[in-house]
Amino acid sequence: ESQFNPNAVSKANAVGIMQLKKDTADEVGVIDRTNPSESIEGGAKYISWNLDQFKQSEPIALASYNYGIGNVQKAIFKDYDSYNQFSLANPTPDDQYNWIQTNPNIPPETKDYVTKVLDYKKYIEQYELTNLVMSNKSYNKNQVRITE
């Protein structure tokens, strides 16, 4: 969302490369939200915390990062029966992604954000694998995770 501009400010007053709001920045120890290294470190801490909150579900953690953890928890509560059945079924990442995309309580902007970040992740993982193969180095396939 910041387009890598450390001075970017959103309509919601999220600032910096990782678009941290003031309260979130305070929680993760970021003093200067426009400082790229502080912003990235703080954003990584916040995403890690969201992953812990949502059983390592990348799509739901990303939605929480974008829309706010409280808003995602409200969306889960509003659709609790569906979410409870979903979470007990040991969902795959694709199932988790589809739950976000089809949930009427998650706004389109957040759905787009989740898609965009996961697409970037796939691209980076594919790029890393291509570089390993092109370098003719041996590698352990467990070191690089490719999602389809």
Residues sharing a CB contact under 8 Å with residue 147, sequence separation 6 or more, in sequence order: 93, 118, 121, 122, 125
Q: Cα Rg for the chain, rounded, in angstroms? A: 17
Structure tokens that stand for 48 in this block = 């890690």
Query: Does the annotation count 27 as an active-site position?
Result: no
Three-state DSSP at 136 gives coil
CA–CA distance, 60 with 52 (Å, rounded to integer): 11
Choice among 1, 27, 41, 128 that is catalytic: 1
Point out the residues that are catalytic: 1
